[in-house]
Amino acid sequence: MDVQQTIIDALKQAGINATAQRIAVGRYVLLEADHPTADEVKAAVDKVFPKISMATIYNTLHTLEKAGILRAVKLPHTGRVVYDRNMEPHYHMIDEESGTLTDLEAQRVKLQHELDKEYDIHEVEIFFRGVRKTDQ
């Protein structure tokens, strides 16, 4: 099955009408990209689908979010939004040197607290910030 069809199926499964623009955006953010900003999505999609408008980029990203197959992450250092196709529980490492954002599977971090006594906790967001050690 080709990539195009994979995306069309994914969109349909999510209840999203698979238009050409949505397929192009979906293909990039759901299969190819790694935490892109909206700009980067536009730049990438433009190559394949010139003249797509920023409004459609945002519309589509919001549609994917609402459908539960994409997540917007607001970065605390820049304040910018990046899009994350990893829908599993996970945290983020921000490499201060490169600016790169890396996913950390939830099981790599153990959290202990007694906040449940006071709160119904719906989500825990963690950003680690640091630099990758030089391998030696």
Partner DNA sequence: TTTAATGCAAAGCGTTTGCACTGCT
Partner DNA sequence: AGCAGTGCAAACGCTTTGCATTAAA
Judging by DSSP bridges, how do beta strands 81-84 and 90-95 pair with one another? unpaired
Write out the binding residues for a copy of itself, residues 51-110 only, by CB under 8 A: 73-77, 79, 81, 93, 95-96, 104, 108-110
Handedness of CA 20, 50, 102, 62 (dihedral sign): negative
**Site for DNA (CB under 7 A): which residue of 39, 46, 96, 105?**
39
Burial of residue 127 (CB within 10 Å: 0-12, 13-18, 19+) is: middle
The minimum distance between CB 46 and a copy of itself, in angstroms, equals 25
Short-list 12, 16, 20, 65, CA closest to 38: 65
Between 22 and 35, name the residue whose CB sits nearer to a copy of itself.
35
| Partner that binds at residue 52, options a copy of itself, DNA, none, CB closer than 5 to 8 Å by kind | DNA
By CB under 7 A, tell whether 37 contacts DNA.
yes
The minimum distance between CB 17 and DNA, in angstroms, equals 3
3-state secondary structure 18-52: CCHHHHHHHHHHHHHCCCCEHHHHHHHHHHHCCCC
Q: What is residue 117's DSSP assignment?
A: G
Between 40 and 95, name the residue whose CB sits nearer to DNA.
40
By CB under 8 A, tell whether 129 contacts a copy of itself.
yes
Q: Give the interface with DNA as residue ranges (CB under 7 A).
A: 16-17, 19-22, 37-39, 51-56, 58-60, 62, 80-81
